Chains A and B, each alone.
Chain A
Amino acid sequence: NAGVTQTPKFRVLKTGQSMTLLCAQDMNHEYMYWYRQDPGMGLRLIHYSVGEGTTAKGEVPDGYNVSRLKKQNFLLGLESAAPSQTSVYFCASSYSRLAGGADTQYFGPGTRLTVL
């Protein structure tokens, strides 16, 4: 049981390049989330998904796209990277609240992205 895994762990991009971050969870969780973490700003929600095939915008969605084609995977895409997107990105997953599960979000180890 690996929990939540993220690939890659580190990445350096040039401005304008694109990339996809992959998140996978093996806990059969309905909900998945993408956050970015910046110094002094805590964790800010980028996008989230309440189930396979669904996505929704969070607090800071501009410049990012997501897809949830399979229940266990949640992809975060940057179409044209900008230096302002330099950050540490965390994926998380949780049970369905509607199913009476816990509210705990389980986080992956993070991806450190630098955009030059």
Chain B
Amino acid sequence: QQQVKQSPQSLIVQKGGISIINCAYENTAFDYFPWYQQFPGKGPALLIAIRPDVSEKKEGRFTISFNKSAKQFSLHIMDSQPGDSATYFCAATRSTGFQKLVFGTGTRLLVSP
């Protein structure tokens, strides 16, 4: 029940296209869902996060869509750029008390010029 399943494992998108990464969780107690972005040779960094009281959150070209009933959330990168090429991790946790982040297995995104 602690798993977060992420797909696809890798993704190639042309410059200007839309990149979509999907995640699914099982634990209905999870109520905080961040996405982390990791460039080669660097540590992950928070990109955007959502709480289940909203169905969508947008920051610039990055949007999280959240479907509470399906226990799924996804990251959409609009107008994808070569600089977006990185590994993306979804994660989930509970926001009450101390709870550990449960990470997905990651998606390696390559945006071709």
Q: Which residues from chain B contact A97 at a C-beta distance below 8 Å?
A: 95, 97-99
Knowing A43-B44, A109-B41, A110-B42 touch, does A50 contact B98 (C-beta < 8 A)? Answer: yes
Q: Which residues from chain B contact A110 at a C-beta distance below 8 Å?
A: 41-43
Inter-subunit contact B49/A103 (CB<8 Å): yes
Work out how many contacts link A and B, with CB atoms closer than 8 A.
54
Instruction: Provide 30 A-B residue pairs closer than 8 Å at the C-beta atoms, listed in order of the A residue.
Output: A31-B98, A33-B100, A40-B105, A41-B105, A42-B103, A43-B44, A43-B89, A43-B103, A44-B103, A45-B100, A48-B100, A50-B98, A58-B100, A90-B43, A90-B44, A98-B97, A98-B98, A103-B34, A103-B49, A103-B95, A103-B101, A105-B101, A107-B36, A107-B43, A107-B44, A107-B45, A108-B43, A109-B42, A110-B41, A110-B42
Residues of B at the A interface (CB closer than 8 Å) are 6, 9, 32, 34, 36, 41-46, 49, 89, 93, 95, 97-101, 103-106
